[in-house]
Amino acid sequence: MKPSKKQWSLICTIYQHGSYCKPGQDAVAELVAGADSSLGAFVFALQDPPRSDLHPRDLHDTISDVFWEFARQDPNGLIDRLDQIGEFRVYWALGAAKDKRSFETLITGLKSKDVYNRWAAVESLIRRKCQEAVDPLLAMLNDRSSTVKGRIVFAMKSSRMLRRTNAIPGLNRLIANKSLQKHSPGIVSAAREVLKMIKQ
């Protein structure tokens, strides 16, 4: 949906100032609080964005922050535009949501062929801190990506909720993995620590 003049002005402010300073923060808040068309307007602007002097990383974080705020208000709007916005951005933003549909969308994301999508879904499920996510997250200890497995292991170190006995076989496989021992010794070391915590 093409932005209105007001929406475009807010989007330009966001792109110029970022989400980490007051003008940008105020513009994000006003855009997200606007009519239902505001999300569509922001998605439309991704195709032909306004000029920005922000560092590419800062701009990426700002766009993620905007979608995070939309997810807090209307996760269904994001999910309905999954193909337009991109799976990674949606999975990342849904860490701010609380409803059942967004949870189910993240569970689906765990099965994505793209490692970054799986990682984003894992990250959001960890942030949501819900009991229903524990078993699906622990199953990701068997993921083919060390990045995904590592994120689960390090989350287990800091979250008692994730330290369950049914994770022991997955941790043992991870510890015994020769490739991880060689290329990701930090993950193996963390897995040993978590195993001790579970067995205490």
- 151: tokens are 């994120």
Phi, psi at 74, each rounded to 5°: -145, 75
User: Per-residue pLDDT tens for 177-196?
Assistant: 999 999 999 999 999 999 99
Reported as a pLDDT band with limits 50, 70 and 90, residue 1 is: confident
Judge contact between 177 and 149, C-beta under 8 A.
no
**Helix pair 115-128, 100-109: axis angle to 10 deg:** 140
Q: Tell me the average pLDDT of the chain.
A: 95
Ordered alpha helix ranges (H), the chain = 5-17, 22-32, 37-47, 56-73, 75-80, 82-85, 87-93, 100-109, 115-128, 134-139, 146-158, 168-176, 178-183, 185-199
The string of pLDDT tens digits covering residues 87-137 is: 999 999 999 999 999 999 999 999 999 999 999 999 999 999 999 999 999
pLDDT band with cut points at 50, 70 and 90 for residue 34: confident
Contacts of 20 (CB under 8 A, 6+ apart): 58, 61, 62
2-12: average pLDDT: 95
Task: Decide: helix, strand or coil at residue 54.
Answer: coil
Amino acid identity, position 108: T
C-alpha–C-alpha distance, residues 103 and 71, integer Å:
12
CB-based contact 88:50 (threshold 8 Å): no
State the average pLDDT over residues 31-43. 88
With a pLDDT cut of 90, the percent of the chain lying above it is: 96
Summarize pLDDT for 49-77 with one digit per residue, the tens.
999 999 999 999 999 999 999 999 989 99
Query: pLDDT confidence of 200, banded at 50, 70, 90?
Result: confident
Q: What is the pTM of this model?
A: 0.91
Distance of alpha carbon 74 from the chain centroid: 16
Give the Cα separation of 144 and 138 in Å (integer).
Answer: 14
